Structure 1
C-alpha cells in the first residue's frame, strides 16, 4: 500500500452489538452472487479510518456522558432518600409536639379571645368617655364665649354711660381674655375649682347705668343729633377748606412762576460764568504766549543781558557796588542823574582846559595800551624761555 502503515482495525469484544444481519437476515440475499467492486483508493481508505476514529471518539464521549448522568441520578436519589427520611422524622416530631401541647394551645387561644373581648369593651367605654368629655368641653366653651360676649356688652354700656358715672364707679373692664376652665390632656384629672373661682373673681361686679332700653335709645338719639351738628360744622369747615385750597393753589402758581424766573436768571448767570471761563482760558493762553515770546525776549535775550552787564559795570565803577540788586532801569536812571550832575559840573570849567585834560587822557590811554602790548610780548617771551629751560632739564632719550 505504497509503504504507508495504517492502524489495525480492532475487533470489538462486545458480543452484544447487533449488526444488519441480526436486524435483517435477508440483507445480503439481494446482492448474493454479484461481484463486489474492489476499492483500491488510499484516500477513501484514509477517510474511512478518520470516520471510524471520529465515531469511536463520539461513542466514548457519549458513554462518558451516560456514566456522568447515571452517577448524578444515583447521587440525587441518595439525597432524595435522605431528605424523605428527615421529613418523616420531622413530621413525626411535629405531630408529637401538637399532640403534647394541644391543651396548652387551646387554653392560650381561649385567654386571647377573652382579652380581645375585654379590650373591645374598654375601647367602647373609652369612646363613650371621649364623647362625654367632648360634650362637656363644648358646653364649657359655649359658656365661656357667652360670658365674654356679655362682658363686651357690659363694656359697651359702661362706655355709653355718662363720664361722671364712669369716674364714680371706676370699673376696670380692660381684662385679658382668660379661659375659665383649662382642659388637661388627662381626662381623669380633677378640675381645680379654686382656680376657676379665682379667674371669675377678676371680673368686676356687673353695674349698669341704664335701667331700661329706652334710656339707651334716648342716648343714641342725642348722639345722632350731635353727629348731625358735627356734620353741619364739617360742611362749614369744608367751605373754608376749599377757599384755603384755592388760595394755596394760587400761591403755588406764584411760587412756581417766581421759581421759573429764578431758574432763568440762574441759567443766564451760568451762561455768563461759562463765557467768562472761556474768556479766562483765552486770556491765559494769550498771556502765556506773550510771556513766552515777547517778555521772555525782553528779559532774557542776549542783547538784554549784555545791556544789563554794561549798565551794572558802569554803575559799580561810577556809583557803587550793586548790593541791593537794582534793576537795569534803576541803575540807568541813576547813571543818567550822575551824568547830568557831571555835565553840570563840567559846564562850570574852561573848555580849553577840558580839551587839554581829554587829550592827556587819550595819550595816557595810548601809553597804557602800548605798555600792555609790551607786557604781553614780554610775558610770551618769558613763557617761551620757561618752556626751553624746562625742556633743557628733562633727560634726553
Structure 2
C-alpha cells in the first residue's frame, strides 16, 4: 500500500464528496429555516460592517483549523482514536506437515501472484467508513452549534440596535427643544447688547468732552507750576543772598513757606479729587503768610550785587597775584604727600617682615619649649620615677641598712646614702690595704661563693613559686564553672 501525501482535512473532504451515504440532508433544511427566521436587515454603518466581517473571517479561519477533530490535541477532542490491539501470533506450523499458501489464508493470497490482496469486506475498511461517518456527524453538530450561536449573536445585536434607535430619537427631540430655548435666549441677549452698545456710545462721547476740558485745565496748571517753580528758585536765591542775622531772625518763617511751597508742587502734579482740596487749603495758608524779604526794592538788590561784584574782582586780583606761589605750594604738598605715602608703604613692608619673623620665632619658641619639657620629663622620670632608679634606690637603701644597721626611712635621699656608702668604702679600703693580699683573696672567694649559692637558691625558689602559682590557678579553674556559653539542645 502506498502512503497518501494528502493531509487529514483534504482526505476528509474527498471522502465526504465521494460517498453519498455520509451526506446529511438536514443541513440544507436547517439553512433554509435559518434563512426564513432571519429578521429584516437594519442599516448599519460602514465601520461596524468592517468590524463584523473581520470577526467572522477570524472565526472561519479558526473553524477551518479545527474542522477535523483529530487536528486538536487529545484533551480537546470530541472523539478519541481507538486503541490498537496487537495481533495474535499464530502458532508456527509443524515442520512434518506440508502446507501451501492457500491453506494458510485463501482470501488474502493467490497462487498466481503470491502476495496479499485486500478484500472489500475488510474490517479496516469498515472501521475507516465508521470513523468517517462519526467525523461527519460530529462536524455537522459543530456546524449546527455555530449556526445557533450566530443566530443568538444577531438577535442580541438587533435588540441593541433597537435600543440605540430609541435613545437616538429621544436625544434628537431633546436637542430640538434645547435649540429652540437657546434661540430665544440669544434673541434676548442680542437686544440687551444693542441697548448697552447705544448707552456705551453716549458715555464715550461725554467722556471725550470731559477729557478735552481736562487737557485744557491741565495745560494751564502746568504753566502755573512752571511759573511757580521759577518764582520759588528766585525766592531761594534772595534768601541765600540775604545776611546771616536776617536768616536767624526769620528762619521759622522761611521754613514754613518752603514746606508750603514743596507741598503745593507735589499736589499740583497729582490729579486725584482729594488732593485738590488739600491744594486749596495749602494755597490759602501760603497767601495768608506775610511776605518777609530782606530786599524789598530792586535798587537794594542791585547795590548788593555791585558790592558782591567788587569783592569778587578783589578776590580775583588776589588769586592772580598768589596763584604762582599757591601752585608751587600745592606741587610741594603733593610731592611731600607722595614721599610720606612711599615712606609709609616701606615702613609697613618692614613691619610686616618683622611681624612674620616674630611669628616664626614664637612658633619655634613653642616647639623648643615642648621639646625641652618632653626631654625634662623623660630625664626626671628616668632619674626619679623610673623602674631602674627606684630599683637602684632600694638597692642602695638595702645596702646602707645592711652596713650601718639602720632601718630604711622614706625621708632618705639617694645622695646622702651614697655619700655614707662611699665613706664606708674608703674606710674599708684603707683597712684592706693594711691586710695580707692572700688572705683577702681567699675571703673574697668565699664571699663570692656564698653569694652564688644564695643566688642559685633564689632562682630555684622562684621557679618553684611559678610552678606553685600555675598549679594553684589550674586547680581553682577545675573546680569553678566554665565561663563559655553552653548550648542546650532538646
TM-score by length of 1: 0.43
Q: Which of structures 1 and 2 has the bigger CA Rg?
A: 1
TM-score by length of 2: 0.37
